[in-house]
Structure 1
């Protein structure tokens, strides 16, 4: 589990998902929806694609949009709280993410699955 958290943290920072790098303890709090303050995303669609990929690989709940929205886990790049509706809309648009970023997310999921074995 710790190795997977380290890997996830490394990939989140490499992808540039948030306005600043995050630490492993922050990622752990994020996954438990217990962050003391929301993280500001750089790209809503990229965030949605990562979270949906984590959900599809059964690393997080399939209800991640509702949970993240209710717990106020994220802010948009403009500083607005992201609701479940915002995250759902971003997820629907995630298919227009450039191939390089999509590959980074796929690499992250593969690394997490490999560390699980």
Structure 2
């Protein structure tokens, strides 16, 4: 449980500050906006697979991308002068979907411990 809390807090901090850091180094608004979603989601997916032994079917894996969508919504509402209702509806949906996609890609890049052990046993036989 402590590992999940640590991963979640690192994920939240990366979302908040990564956009600014990417913009400082690249001066690209597109990369700063989407990179602050894709990169932390992918890295947290990899770390999730390495640090936890959870089954991928747990409902907690949906919580991280949803959290990102609502964090981006709060940041949008704080920075926009005149936020619209349509933007407030679609921002959490789009950001959560993209975050979930890259989170799953991060999970899939690291092979499962059980399958890698089975493959090693098959090779040795």
| Common topology (TM > 0.5) | no
Q: Please give the TM-score of this superposition, normalised by the length of structure 2.
A: 0.31
Computing the radius of gyration from Cα coordinates, the structure with the larger value is 2
If the length of structure 1 is used for normalisation, what is the TM-score? 0.32
